Amino acid sequence: MSGPQSAAPGSGMQMPGMLASLGRAELLMAAGAALVVIVDVLFSVFGPYGFSNVAWAAAVFVLLLIFVNSRMLGFSATTTRSLLLMLGLFAGIALVLVGVYHLLGTDPGDAATIGPADALRGRSMVCRQADVVPVEAVVRGYLAGSGWKEYRDKGAVCGVALPAGLRESDRLPEPIFTPATKEEGGAHDVNISFDDMVDHLAAVAWLPASVAGPVAEAIRDHAFRLYSYGSAVAARVGILLADTKFEFGFVRGEGGDGSHPDTLTLVDEALTPDSSRFWDAAAYEPGRAQASYDKQFVRDWLEAHDWDKRPPGPELPEDVVDGTRARYVEAYERITGASFARYLEEDVIAR
């Protein structure tokens, strides 16, 4: 190395004088800042489609370099472990920041032009405007609903072949991605294969056909990661996330003039009883339909009554409405550990 040199305490390696003048806390901050810069540059270069694999591979590489060099810089074993722990936490925070969501807030005052705050409290979201990708990104960890029906007929779900002999509600060997078209006008969504999803996106007028494949792959990757996270959170409180669906869209780049790339963003609700099947792990018994904390309770009532599934739908009896609400509230309080009543009053997720 050239320039001023100084020996690191307890090591035979020379390092630049600027680094020698820094304390361990400053070195830690510098390492974190370097990781931020690397992630930011990679995101800018590779854009929203190919970012995750490249950036996080680089982040892991940086962590390994820091681990090796921390010993060369004379850090004790305890300091090294602390450094890795802090950088691990930092990487987790960075992952949350990279996983962009359209939600800006839930304060009714921010949506006052729509209606009175009291009517909006606890039931409104203030969001970034996005062009919604017309595909529902469904991930299944268990065999239920339309997936179970398709498996019985074809031995596969959305083109994904599954082992023979599975029962209703069985846990799948690994989660599978089973997209569906996002139909309008009350029409039922149609389950499709991943290849069909690519073709479906290629026909979207505002989305360049050349990026249909990369966008589909990015959506699938994000959906798997979100399902894995949601499953882990629910499992800690004894709830199984059988399946769930996500929706994605593109938020216009800064300025909206095309000078900045649009960002693939998670939109709509996520991991709620309306978009997921939640089962009580203590009562789970494969081979039959499961009692659930979701709108399957309403579906079951509708299936038992004479309705052609065209609007207007039948009026739900009070016991079905109350039963559905009770299931949603229980799911909310078990998963978040928070009071639903307080959320409605104060718009906070807390006891």
- Calculate the CA dihedral of residues 226, 198, 191, 232 and round it to 10 degrees: -10
SS3 content of the chain, % helix, strand, coil (to 5): 45, 15, 35
Tokens 């991943």 — which residue?
194
CATH number of 129-291: 3.30.460.80, 2.40.10.10, 3.30.470.20, 3.30.420.40? Answer: 3.30.470.20
The pLDDT tens digits of the residues spanning 206-224 come to: 999 999 999 999 999 999 9
Phi, psi of 53 (to 5 degrees): -65, -45
Give the 3-state secondary structure of residue 116: coil
Residue 196 reports pLDDT greater than 50: yes
How far apart CA 17 and CA 32 sit, in angstroms, is 20
The pLDDT tens digits of the residues spanning 120-144 come to: 777 777 788 889 999 999 999 999 9
Q: How confident is the model at residue 74 (pLDDT cuts 50, 70, 90)?
A: very low
Span 107-123, average pLDDT: 69
Q: Which sequence spans correspond to the domains of the chain?
A: 5-98, 129-291, 295-351
For the record, the structure tokens of 159 come out as: 């083109």
Q: What percent of the chain has pLDDT over 70?
A: 64
Phi, psi of 251 (to 5 degrees): -90, 130
Give pLDDT, residue 27: 52
Which of 4-8, 117-121, 252-256, 331-335 bottoms out in mean pLDDT, i.e. has the lowest?
4-8
183 close to 191: Cβ distance less than 8 angstroms: no
Span 16-20, average pLDDT: 36
Residues in a beta bridge with 276: 244
Give pLDDT, residue 214: 95
Phi, psi of 318 (to 5 degrees): -60, -35
Residue 33 reports pLDDT greater than 50: no
Which one has a higher pLDDT value, 104 or 198?
198
How far apart CA 207 and CA 102 sit, in angstroms, is 19
CA dist list (Å): 69 to 28, 29, 41: 12, 15, 23
Query: What stretches of 192-333 adopt beta strand conformation (E)?
Result: 239-251, 263-267, 276-280
Give pLDDT, residue 75: 40
**Residues recorded for the chain:** 351
Average per-residue pLDDT for the chain = 74
The pLDDT tens digits of the residues spanning 288-299 come to: 999 888 777 888
Give pLDDT, residue 5: 31
146 close to 192: Cβ distance less than 8 angstroms: no
